[in-house]
C-alpha cells in the first residue's frame, strides 16, 4: 500500500486566472490604411479580436441546440420538480417542470409542451429537489486517474518551476474510475488543473465528466479555447477563456528547494519576459490598426512558450498580499484564489485585487495537514460570504473524493454559510468564476442540460442523486434510497456566531479550553432522544413522541442518576436547590461518546512537519535498525503521545468533543494525504487516550496503555518487501517469533490474549490472512483475535470473515479506489444497491468506522449518520453509534465498563444529524459535567 506518490495540491494559495485580458481601443482611434501588406486584413481582424473580451457570441443564448448535443438524445420532461435555479443570488426555488432538448434546457417552470413531439420521455420526479449539475472548480480528475498507478501520475511536471505552456488536457486520461463515481455524486463538470509543484504549473481545462462517443479527452472539453489545436486562432470567432494555474508556498517550495522569495522571483522573471512580449504585440497591433504598416515590416511577435502568459497578463506572488500588490501594479484581474486558508483573515485585502475581488475556493474542514494550513477554519466560508466575497467549495480530487463535493457545501452550511451561498458554492459561483456562467451552473432557459435530481434536500447529509443528466443524457441506472420526510427540508443548523467571533479574534487559533465543570447536579431537559450503553452495545432508551421532547438526564458529579422521561427523573433532584444547574438542550440528545481510529491524531500536530510529530518508526522488515533497538524491538504509541493537537481537542469550537477516546498505531511520520494507508509493515502497540485531556499525566488521559498489536500488509514503496515476504514474516512472528522485546506481544496475540490489527485493503490479501489465521490456530489451538483495518475490498470476502469471526474497521468509511489494492469497492447507491458496509453487516461481520486523517476525526458523527441514511433504514441510529463506539472498542481491544464511558450532550438535534451541536460532556471518570 504505497502511499500514492503525489503531493496533494494544497498550497496556502493556489490561484488560477481566468484568462482573456480585456483590451480596449483608446477612444478616438480610427483605422487609416496606407500601403498594405498581403496579410493586412487578417492581421487587423486578429488584432481587433484581441481587444474583445472573451464573451460568448451575441446569439449564444438564442441557440436551439448545444455544441455538445449528441444526435439521438431523447427530449426529456422532468415533471413537478423543486428547482434551485441559481437566480437571485441562489435564493430562487420554483416548483415546476424542466424540458431538456438537444443538449440544452429549453423551458423551466410552467412549460409549453406544444413545440415538442409526443414521444418525449416524461419523468415525474414528484417534488424532488433538482439543481444544476455540480461543478468542481479544483480537480485533478483524469490527470491523476484512480486507481493510482505509476504509469499515469501526470498532473505534476518536475521540469521547472515556470511552466505556463503545459496543458492539463494533454494528460487527461479517459479511463479514470472517478468519472462515474463523481457523476454519482451529482458532479457534471470539473476544472482540471495541473498540480501545484510549479509556481506556474500550466493551463487548466473545463471538462464534462460523461463518456463521449469519440472516447477522447478533446471531446470532453467545454468550449475549448481556440488555441487548443492551432497556434493561429480564428479571429472571426469570439475569444474564449483560458485558465492558468499558479501555486505559492510549500508545494513549489519543497519541490524546487525554493524559499518563498525564490518562487516570487521565478514568477517576476517569467512575467517580465511575458510583459515585454505583450508590449511588443500591443505596439504591433496599434500600428496595424492605424495602418502604419511601414513601422511594422515584420510578423506579429509570437513565442509559443509564452503564449499562455501573454494572453493572461497575470502575475503571481507567494502570498495574498504580494498577489494583490502585483495585480494592481500590472493591472490583471484574478478569477479565484484556491485553498487560501487565511483568506478569511484578510477579506479587505482581497477586495483590493485589480478588477474586483477573486472568488475563494475552500475545503470545508480539511486543514492543518501542513504548516501553511494551520489556521484553516471551518468558519471561513461564512466569514467570507458575510464580507460579500464569492465562496466556492472544491474537492482537489483525489485529495478529497469529488463524488462528495456536495458534502463540502453541506459542511460549510452546517458551520454557518447561508444555504443559497452553499448551493451556489458548487454550482453557479464556480461557473461564473470559470467564465462558464453563460451555459452551466444555473437552471435557466438556454443553459446546458446538466441537472441533478436529488433524493433529499441537497444540503441534507448524504444527499444522493437519483438521476444526473449531462448534455441532456441520463447518466445513472440508479438505485434509489427512500429517505425520511424531514430529509426533504433544509437542515436547521446550529448557531456558531460566538465561535466564529473567537476564531477571528484569535486569528484562527482560539484557545483549546477543556471546558468548565457545570455544577454538582446537572439536569438536562427538553431532550429528544437518549442512547446509552449496555453490555457493550448502544441502545435507545428514550425517543420523543409527537415532537414532545420530554427526555431528562439527571447527573451528579458526572454520574448518571436518571435517564428517561421527566415524570420518572425529576424526583431525583430539586430543580431550584443548591448546586443544581438546569440546561435546556432544545430538542437535543444524549449519547455515548465516540471513538476515532486510523489517523496519527494523538501523535502530533502537523503531519507535514516532522518536528511536530512523533516521527518515523523503523521497521525491522524494511529498514536498518539501530543496534540499540535490537532486531525485535517494538514501539509503543503511548510513548509518543502528544496532547492538545488542534484536531484532537476542538472542544472550543465544540463540534466533536464527542470523540473523546482515540486508538492509534504508530505508523506515521511522513506527510499523510487523505489516503489512509500505512507505509510500513511494522507499526507498533496501540494505545487509547482521552481527547478531553491536555496532558498525559492528567487523570483519565490514558484509557488503556496497550490495546493491540498493529501491522499492515500491502504494497509499500518500491514493491519491497513483497506481499509473500510480509506474510512469511507474519507467520514467523505468530509461530515462533517469541523472543526479544516484541516476543511477549506476539505471544499474547498468538494465544488470543491481545487483538492483532492488520491494515489491508485487497480481498486477495485479506483472504490470505484468513487462511493464515486458520493455519496457526490449528497448530496452537488458540483463537487469534484478528481485525482488518482499511478493508475497501473486504465485502468480497464477507462470508469468510464472518465465519472466522474477523471484524473490519472500514477506513475510509465510504470506500474509494485510491489504489489497485482497493479498486474493487462496492460504491453503494446510486451505483450498486449495497455499500461495502451494508454487505459486511448483512453477513454479521462486526464493523467499525475508521477515520482517514487527523482533520477528519471531527467528522465521525457525520460519517456515522451518513452510513445510517445510506443503508435505507437497515442501520438505525443506535446501530450507527455502535459502529463508531462499542464495535471499535471490541475490535481494537478496549475493554471498558459501560458506566465508565463519557456521555455527549447535544443541542438542537441528535449527534448524527447535521443539525446538532455538542454542548456538554458527562464524564464519570473525570467526575463532572463539562461545558464545551
Ligand atoms: C445579490 O447579492 C448582492 C450582494 O449582497 C447584491 O448586491 C445584489 O443586489 C443581490 N442580487 C439579487 C438579485 O438579489
Ligand atoms: C480545432 O478544434 C475545434 C474545437 O474542437 C474545432 O472546431 C476545429 O475544427 C479544430 N480545428 C482543427 C484545425 O482541427
Ligand atoms: C534539493 O536539495 C536536495 C538536498 O540538497 C538535493 O538532493 C536535491 O537534488 C535538490 N532538488 C532540486 C530540485 O534542486
Ligand atoms: C459577533 O461579532 C459581531 C460583530 O462584531 C457582533 O455583532 C455579534 O454580536 C457577535 N456575536 C456573538 C455571539 O458574540
Ligand atoms: C518519508 O518520506 C521520505 C522522502 O520521501 C522517504 O525517504 C521515507 O522513506 C519516508 N518514510 C516513510 C516512513 O515512509
Ligand atoms: C445474522 O444474524 C442474524 C441474527 O442473529 C441471523 O438471523 C442471520 O441469519 C445472520 N445472517 C447470516 C448471513 O449469517
Helix (H) or strand (E) holding 136: strand 134-139
Contacts of 461 (CB under 8 A, 6+ apart): 407, 410, 491, 862, 865, 866, 869, 913, 914
Q: Whose CA is nearest to atom 6 of ligand 1?
A: 89
Taking 50 as the pLDDT cut, the residues of the chain under it are 1-33, 308-318, 650-677
- Ligand 1 centroid to Cα of residue 441, in Å, is 17
Grid cell, residue 824, equals: 474493487
- Ligand 1 centroid to Cα of residue 420, in Å, is 12
- CB of 581 within 6 A of ligand 6: the answer is no
What local confidence, expressed as pLDDT, does residue 12 receive? Answer: 29
Ligand closest in space to the Cα of 839:
6
Q: Whose CA is nearest to atom 11 of ligand 6?
A: 843
Ligand closest in space to the Cα of 158:
3
Round to whole Å and give the CA distance between 281 and 37: 18
Eight-state DSSP code of residue 837: H
Round to whole Å and give the CA distance between 93 and 499: 31
- Ligand 1 centroid to Cα of residue 90, in Å, is 10
CB distance 141 to 176 below 8 Å: yes
* Dihedral angle sign, alpha carbons of residues 154, 158, 159, 162: positive
Q: Which of 1, 789, 857, 815 is nearest to 368 (CA)?
A: 857
- Ligand 2 centroid to Cα of residue 314, in Å, is 27
Which atom of ligand 6 approaches the CA of 802 most closely?
14
- Ligand 2 centroid to Cα of residue 435, in Å, is 20
Domains of the chain: 15-54+136-487 (3.20.20.140), 516-592 (2.30.40.10), 671-683+707-900 (3.20.20.140)
3-state secondary structure 810-830: ECCCCCCCCCHHHCCCCECCC
Contacts of 639 (CB under 8 A, 6+ apart): none
CB distance 281 to 306 below 8 Å: no
Ligand closest in space to the Cα of 805:
6
- CB of 230 within 6 A of ligand 2: the answer is yes
Widest Cα–Cα separation across the chain: 104
Round to whole Å and give the CA distance between 619 and 627: 13
- CB of 783 within 6 A of ligand 1: the answer is no
Round to whole Å and give the CA distance between 677 and 5: 12
Ligand closest in space to the Cα of 240:
2
- CB of 254 within 6 A of ligand 3: the answer is no
Round to whole Å and give the CA distance between 88 and 341: 28
C-alpha dist (Å) from residue 430 to 13, 191, 359: 17, 9, 8
Kindly report, residue by residue over 690-748, the tens digit of the pLDDT. Answer: 877 778 888 878 888 888 898 889 987 667 789 999 999 999 999 887 777 789 999 99
Q: Which of 66, 61, 63, 76 is nearest to 475 (CA)?
A: 76
Round to whole Å and give the CA distance between 170 and 143: 9
Residue 640 Cα to chain centre, angstroms: 29
Round to whole Å and give the CA distance between 176 and 154: 12
What number of other Cβ atoms are within 10 A of residue 623's Cβ? 12
Round to whole Å and give the CA distance between 19 and 243: 6
CB distance 925 to 699 below 8 Å: yes
- Ligand 1 centroid to Cα of residue 582, in Å, is 43
Round to whole Å and give the CA distance between 453 and 451: 7
> Ligand 2, from 214, 229, 236, 240: best to mutate by most atoms within 8 Å of Cβ?
229
Ligand closest in space to the Cα of 385:
1
Q: Whose CA is nearest to atom 3 of ligand 5?
A: 670
- Ligand 1 centroid to Cα of residue 204, in Å, is 30
Contacts of 570 (CB under 8 A, 6+ apart): 523, 552, 554
Q: Which of 665, 619, 662 is nearest to 640 (CA)?
A: 665
Grid cell, residue 331, equals: 493591472
- CB of 501 within 6 A of ligand 4: the answer is yes
* Dihedral angle sign, alpha carbons of residues 872, 878, 882, 885: positive
- Ligand 4 centroid to Cα of residue 803, in Å, is 58
- Ligand 5 centroid to Cα of residue 904, in Å, is 39
Round to whole Å and give the CA distance between 176 and 192: 13
What local confidence, expressed as pLDDT, does residue 59 receive? Answer: 83
CB distance 89 to 420 below 8 Å: yes
- Ligand 5 centroid to Cα of residue 670, in Å, is 6
Ligand closest in space to the Cα of 252:
3
Q: Which of 610, 614, 618 is nearest to 671 (CA)?
A: 610
| 3-class secondary structure, 789 | strand
Helices and strands, counts by H and E, the chain = 22, 34
Contacts of 172 (CB under 8 A, 6+ apart): 142, 143, 192, 205, 207, 217, 220
Round to whole Å and give the CA distance between 307 and 281: 11
Round to whole Å and give the CA distance between 601 and 861: 17
Round to whole Å and give the CA distance between 653 and 326: 36
Round to whole Å and give the CA distance between 92 and 822: 42
Pairing status of strand 451-454 against strand 465-470: antiparallel
Q: Whose CA is nearest to atom 5 of ligand 1?
A: 388
What local confidence, expressed as pLDDT, does residue 649 receive? Answer: 56
- Ligand 6 centroid to Cα of residue 804, in Å, is 15
Pairing status of strand 917-923 against strand 928-931: antiparallel
At which residue does the C-alpha cell 438537444 appear?
102
At which residue does the C-alpha cell 507567494 appear?
318
Round to whole Å and give the CA distance between 572 and 580: 11
Kindly report, residue by residue over 393-423, the tens digit of the pLDDT. Answer: 999 998 899 999 999 999 999 999 999 999 9
- CB of 234 within 6 A of ligand 4: the answer is no
Q: Whose CA is nearest to atom 2 of ligand 2?
A: 229
CB distance 186 to 202 below 8 Å: no
> Ligand 6, from 802, 841, 844: best to mutate by most atoms within 8 Å of Cβ?
844
Contacts of 283 (CB under 8 A, 6+ apart): none
- Ligand 2 centroid to Cα of residue 552, in Å, is 70
- Ligand 6 centroid to Cα of residue 827, in Å, is 23
What local confidence, expressed as pLDDT, does residue 531 receive? Answer: 96
Tell me the CB-side half-sphere exposure of residue 139, using CA atoms within 13 A. Answer: 33
C-alpha dist (Å) from residue 899 to 215, 332, 524, 699, 884: 60, 63, 18, 17, 17
Dihedrals phi, psi of 777, to nearest 5 degrees: -65, -35
Ligand closest in space to the Cα of 197:
3
- CB of 256 within 6 A of ligand 3: the answer is yes
What local confidence, expressed as pLDDT, does residue 27 receive? Answer: 40
- Ligand 5 centroid to Cα of residue 599, in Å, is 17
Round to whole Å and give the CA distance between 8 and 397: 9
Q: Which of 252, 885, 916, 225 is nearest to 528 (CA)?
A: 916
Round to whole Å and give the CA distance between 576 and 899: 27
- Ligand 3 centroid to Cα of residue 256, in Å, is 7
CB distance 430 to 441 below 8 Å: yes
CB distance 411 to 656 below 8 Å: no
- CB of 498 within 6 A of ligand 4: the answer is yes
Which atom of ligand 2 approaches the CA of 229 most closely?
1
Provide the b/e sequence for 910-931 (b: ≥16 CB within 10 Å).
bbbbbbbbbbbbbbbbbebbbb
- CB of 236 within 6 A of ligand 2: the answer is no
- CB of 87 within 6 A of ligand 1: the answer is no
- For the packed helices 260-289 and 320-330, what is the interaxial angle rounded to 10 degrees? 20
- CB of 495 within 6 A of ligand 4: the answer is no
Q: Which of 189, 95, 190, 115 is nearest to 448 (CA)?
A: 189
Which atom of ligand 6 approaches the CA of 843 most closely?
13
- CB of 257 within 6 A of ligand 3: the answer is yes
Q: Whose CA is nearest to atom 14 of ligand 3?
A: 256
Which atom of ligand 3 approaches the CA of 255 most closely?
13
Grid cell, residue 349, equals: 485585502
Contacts of 919 (CB under 8 A, 6+ apart): 583, 585, 588, 654, 905, 906, 907, 931, 932
Round to whole Å and give the CA distance between 61 and 464: 30
- Ligand 6 centroid to Cα of residue 841, in Å, is 9
Amino acid at each position: 500500500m504505497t502511499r500514492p506518490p503525489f503531493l496533494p495540491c494544497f498550497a496556502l494559495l493556489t490561484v488560477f486566472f481566468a484568462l482573456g485580458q480585456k483590451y480596449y481601443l483608446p477612444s478616438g482611434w480610427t483605422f487609416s490604411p496606407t500601403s498594405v501588406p498581403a496579410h493586412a486584413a487578417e492581421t487587423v481582424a486578429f488584432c481587433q479580436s484581441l481587444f474583445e473580451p472573451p464573451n460568448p457570441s451575441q446569439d449564444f443564448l438564442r441557440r436551439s441546440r448545444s455544441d455538445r448535443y449528441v444526435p439521438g438524445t431523447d427530449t426529456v420532461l422532468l415533471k413537478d420538480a423543486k428547482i434551485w435555479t441559481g437566480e437571485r443570488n441562489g435564493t430562487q426555488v420554483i416548483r415546476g417542470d424542466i424540458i431538456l432538448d438537444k443538449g440544452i434546457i429549453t423551458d423551466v417552470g410552467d412549460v409549453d409542451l406544444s413545440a415538442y413531439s409526443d414521444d418525449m420521455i416524461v419523468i415525474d420526479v414528484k417534488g424532488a429537489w433538482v439543481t444544476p449539475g455540480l461543478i468542481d472548480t479544483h480537480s485533478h480528475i483524469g490527470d491523476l486517474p484512480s486507481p493510482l498507478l505509476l504509469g499515469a501520475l501526470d498532473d505534476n511536471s518536475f521540469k521547472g518551476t515556470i511552466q505556463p505552456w503545459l496543458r492539463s488536457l494533454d494528460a487527461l486520461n479517459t479511463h479514470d474510475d472517478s468519472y462515474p463515481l463523481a457523476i454519482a455524486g451529482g458532479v457534471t463538470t470539473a476544472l482540471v488543473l495541473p498540480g501545484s509543484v510549479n509556481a506556474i504549473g500550466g493551463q487548466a481545462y473545463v471538462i464534462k465528466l460523461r463518456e463521449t462517443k469519440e472516447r477522447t479527452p478533446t471531446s470532453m472539453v467545454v468550449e475549448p479555447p481556440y488555441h487548443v489545436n492551432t497556434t493561429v486562432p480564428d479571429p472571426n470567432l469570439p475569444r474564449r477563456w483560458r485558465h492558468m494555474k499558479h501555486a505559492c508556498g510549500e508545494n513549489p517550495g519543497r519541490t524546487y528547494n525554493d524559499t518563498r522569495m525564490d518562487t516570487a522571483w521565478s514568477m517576476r522573471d517569467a512575467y517580465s519576459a511575458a510583459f515585454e512580449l505583450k508590449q511588443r504585440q500591443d505596439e504591433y497591433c496599434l500600428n496595424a490598426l492605424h495602418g502604419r504598416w511601414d513601422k511594422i515590416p515584420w510578423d506579429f511577435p509570437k513565442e509559443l512558450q509564452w503564449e499562455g502568459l501573454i494572453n493572461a497578463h497575470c502575475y503571481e506572488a507567494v502570498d495574498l498580499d504580494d498577489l494583490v500588490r502585483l495585480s494592481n501594479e500590472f493591472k490583471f484581474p484574478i478569477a479565484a484564489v484556491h485553498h487560501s486558508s487565511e483568506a478569511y483573515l484578510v477579506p479587505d485585502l482581497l477586495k483590493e485585487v485589480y478588477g474586483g475581488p477573486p472568488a475563494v475556493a475552500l475545503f470545508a474542514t480539511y486543514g492543518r495537514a501542513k504548516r501553511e494550513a494551520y489556521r484553516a477554519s471551518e468558519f471561513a466560508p461564512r466569514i467570507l460570504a458575510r464580507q460579500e466575497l464569492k465562496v466556492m467549495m472544491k474537492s482537489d480530487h483525489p485529495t478529497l473524493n469529488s463524488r462528495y463535493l456536495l458534502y463540502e457545501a453541506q459542511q460549510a452550511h452546517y458551520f454557518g454559510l447561508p444555504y443559497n451561498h452553499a448551493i451556489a458554492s458548487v454550482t453557479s459561483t464556480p461557473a461564473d468564476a470559470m467564465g462558464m456562467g453563460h451555459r452551466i451552473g444555473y437552471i435557466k432557459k438556454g443553459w446546458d442540460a446538466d441537472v441533478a435530481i436529488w433524493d433529499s434536500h441537497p444540503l441534507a447529509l448524504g444527499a444522493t442523486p437519483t438521476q444526473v443528466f449531462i448534455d441532456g443524457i441520463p447518466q445513472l441506472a440508479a438505485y434509489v434510497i427512500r429517505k425520511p420526510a424531514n430529509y426533504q427540508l433544509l437542515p436547521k443548523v446550529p448557531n456558531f456566531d460566538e465561535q466564529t467571533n473567537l476564531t477571528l479574534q484569535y486569528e484562527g487559533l482560539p484557545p483549546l479550553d477543556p471546558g468548565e465543570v457545570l455544577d454538582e447536579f446537572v439536569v438536562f431537559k427538553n431532550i429528544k432522544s437518549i442512547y446509552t450503553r449496555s453490555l457493550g452495545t448502544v441502545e435507545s432508551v428514550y425517543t420523543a413522541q409527537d415532537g414532545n421532547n420530554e427526555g431528562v438526564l439527571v447527573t451528579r458529579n458526572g454520574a448518571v442518576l436518571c435517564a428517561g422521561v421527566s415524570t420518572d427523573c425529576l424526583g431525583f433532584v430539586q430543580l431550584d436547590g443548591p448546586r443544581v444547574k438546569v440546561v435546556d438542550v432544545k430538542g437535543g440528545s444524549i449519547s455515548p461518546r465516540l471513538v476515532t481510529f486510523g489517523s496519527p491524531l494523538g501523535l502530533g500536530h502537523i503531519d507535514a512537519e516532522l518536528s511536530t510529530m512523533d516521527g518515523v518508526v523503523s521497521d525491522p522488515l524494511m529498514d536498518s535498525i539501530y543496534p540499540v533497538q535490537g532486531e525485535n524491538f517494538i514501539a509503543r504509541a503511548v510513548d509518543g503521545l502528544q496532547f492538545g493537537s488542534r484536531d484532537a481537542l476542538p472542544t472550543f469550537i465544540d463540534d466533536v468533543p464527542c470523540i473523546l477516546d482515540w486508538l492509534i498505531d504508530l505508523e506515521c511520520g511522513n506527510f499523510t494525504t487523505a489516503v489512509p494507508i500505512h507505509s510500513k509493515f511494522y507499526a507498533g502497540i496501540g494505545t487509547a487516550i482521552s481527547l478531553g485531556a491536555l496532558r498525559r499525566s492528567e487523570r483519565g488521559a490514558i484509557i488503556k496503555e496497550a490495546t493491540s498489536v498493529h501491522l499492515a500488509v500491502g504494497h509499500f514503496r518500491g514493491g519491497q518487501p513483497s506481499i509473500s515476504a510480509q506474510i512469511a514474516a507474519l507467520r514467523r512472528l505468530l509461530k515462533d517469533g517469541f523472543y526479544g522485546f516484541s516476543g511477549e506481544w506476539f505471544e499474547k496475540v498468538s494465544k488470543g490474549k491481545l487483538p492483532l490489527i492488520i491494515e489491508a485493503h485487497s480481498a486477495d490479501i485479506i483472504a490470505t490472512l484468513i487462511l493464515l489465521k486458520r493455519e496457526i490456530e490449528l497448530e496452537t489451538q488458540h483463537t487469534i483475535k484478528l481485525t482488518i483495518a482499511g478493508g475497501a475490498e473486504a465485502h468480497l470476502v464477507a462470508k469468510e470473515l464472518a465465519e472466522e469471526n474477523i471484524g473490519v474497521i472500514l477506513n475510509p468509511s465510504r470506500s474509494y479506489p485510491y489504489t489497485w489494492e482497493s479498486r474493487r469497492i462496492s460504491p453503494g447507491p446510486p451505483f450498486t444497491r449495497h455499500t461495502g458496509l451494508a454487505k459486511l453487516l448483512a453477513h454479521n461481520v462486526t464493523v467499525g468506522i475508521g477515520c482517514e486523517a487527523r482533520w477528519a476525526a471531527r467528522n465521525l458523527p457525520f460519517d456515522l449518520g451518513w452510513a445510517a441514511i445510506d443503508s435505507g433504514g437497515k442501520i438505525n441510529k443506535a446501530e450507527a453509534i455502535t459502529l463508531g463506539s462499542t464495535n471499535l472498542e471490541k475490535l481494537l481491544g478496549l475493554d471498558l465498563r459501560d458506566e465508565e464511558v463519557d456521555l455527549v450532550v447535544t443541542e438542537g438535534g441528535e449527534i448524527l444529524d447535521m443539525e446538532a451541536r455538542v454542548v456538554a460532556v458527562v464524564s464519570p471518570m473525570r467526575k463532572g459535567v463539562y461545558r464545551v
